[in-house]
Each structure stands twice: as structure tokens, then as C-alpha cells.
Structure 1
Amino acid sequence: MEPKAAIDAFAALAQETRLSVFRLLVQAGPNGLTAGDVAARIGVPASTLSHHLGLLERAGLLRSWRVQRQIFYATDYEGTRRLLAFLLEDCCQGLPELCGPGIAEAIDCCPKPTVDA
């Protein structure tokens, strides 16, 4: 991952609503949620949510797809993996085992999507 892409991803997450949306969609898994479900669970108007979802998607952290009249959103697990790997690639001078347990698990935490985008 290029530094600019990492900066864009962190900037997208550096806002309370977007961070809440991202965490909700991580919990929801690869099948995601409809935009309406996200709005209801987060408690923001659909018009406001649309802006936040778009920003997270452009940052490579979410993906979306349409099913009839509904738009679904889910975590872009590959984008999330790239961001985690970028953060940890030089951990402890190339010896991630020195950083403590869980570093490898953090990078490999994200499941592969089960639906086609």
C-alpha cells in the first residue's frame, strides 16, 4: 500500500460516524448490510450516511453492490488487510514476533468475502 492510500484510509476513519459505520460493517461480516440498516443502527439520516459511506468506499475500506432497489455495503477485507499490513510491515525491525502475540492474527483476521460484488 502506498502512503497516500494509507493516509486516505486513516482520514476516512478519523471521524466518529465513519468509524462507527466501519466497525458495524466489520461486525456484520462479508454479506454486509443495506444502507437503510446501517442508517437505522447508527442513527443518522440516510442523506448524511450516503456521504460517509462514499468516503469510506473511496478510501478502499468498504465495497457496495446493488440488489434490485437496495444498496448493500460491506467491509472491503482486502483493503483492510492492506492497511493493517502497511502499519505492521516494518514492525520490530522485521521481527513481528517481538511485537507480541496477535500481530499475524491481526493481518489475517479478515474473512474472504462470500458474495460477489
Structure 2
Amino acid sequence: MDEQDVLRALAALSQQHRLRAFRALVVAGPAGLNPGLLAEALGIPPNTLSFHLKELSQAGLVQATRDGRSLVYRAAYERMDALLSFLTDHCCAGAAAACCEPAPLAQPETP
């Protein structure tokens, strides 16, 4: 992934509806989601979602396939992994284990 691809991907993700749509597709996994279900889940109009999915698609972060008469959108995991690799490449001067390990999730406080 080159720098221009990274900039395009980050620009696509820097909008709330697109970020939420992408995360929903990542959660959906390989099965993906059709635009109607995704729009309903996100609470945004289908035509607005269509615009945002087009932006994510142009950035290479989602892929659409036809399933009969409808489309199914899926996260482009290979592209997502390439973006993460670009961002963490050479992390901590090659000692990634020292600083790039995922932080443990915060546990909810119990009353």
C-alpha cells in the first residue's frame, strides 16, 4: 500500500457514517450485509448510505457483490490489514513488541 492509498483510506474513514458502516461490515464478517439492513442498523437513509459506501469502495475498504437482485457489501480485510501494516510499519524502530501490542480492553467498573 502506498502513501496515496493510505491517505485515500484514512480520508474515507474520517467521516462518522463511513466509519460506522465500515465497522459494522467488519463485525458482520465474510457474510457481509445488504445496504437495506446496514442503513437500518445505522439509522441513516439508504441514499445517504449509498454515497458513503461508494466512498469506502473507491478507497478499497469495502467490496460489493451481487446476490440475486441485491448487493452485499463486505469489508475488504486484506486492504484493512495493509492499512494497519502501513501505520505500524517500523513501529518502535523494529521492536514492535515493546510498544505496538494492543492495550487490554478496559473492564467495566462494578458498583
Normalised to the residue count of structure 2, the TM-score between the two structures is: 0.88
Uncovered stretches (5+) of structure 2, i.e. residues with no partner:
104-111
Q: How does 1:38-53 map to 2 (within 5 A)?
A: 38-53=38-53
What are the superposed Cα offsets for residues 48-84 of structure 1, whole Å, 9 maximum, x if unpaired?
Answer: 1111001101111111101111100011000000000
Q: How does 1:1-117 map to 2 (within 5 A)?
A: 1-102=1-102
Matched with 1:106 is none
In structure 1, give the amino acid aligned to 2:31: N
Counting matched residue pairs gives: 103
State how far apart, in whole Å, the 1-side matches of 2:69 and 2:41 are.
20
Q: Percent identity, aligned pairs only?
A: 42
- Please identify runs of 4+ aligned residues in structure 1 that moved more than 4 A: none
State how far apart, in whole Å, the 1-side matches of 2:51 and 2:45 are.
11
Secondary structure at the counterpart of residue 74 of structure 2: strand
Whichever of the two has the greater Rg, that structure is 2
CA-CA distance at 1:102 after TM superposition: 3.4
CA-CA distance at 1:45 after TM superposition: 1.1
State how far apart, in whole Å, the 2-side matches of 1:43 and 1:55 are.
18
State how far apart, in whole Å, the 2-side matches of 1:31 and 1:65 are.
11
State how far apart, in whole Å, the 2-side matches of 1:101 and 1:38 are.
31
In structure 1, give the amino acid aligned to 2:92: C
C-alpha RMSD of matched pairs (Å): 1.3
State how far apart, in whole Å, the 2-side matches of 1:81 and 1:30 are.
15
- Contact 2:91-2:100 at 8 Å conserved across structures: no
The 1:4/1:102 distance shift into structure 2, 3 A limit, reads: same
What are the superposed Cα offsets for residues 7-44 of structure 1, whole Å, 9 maximum, x if unpaired?
Answer: 00000000000010011111111110001111110111
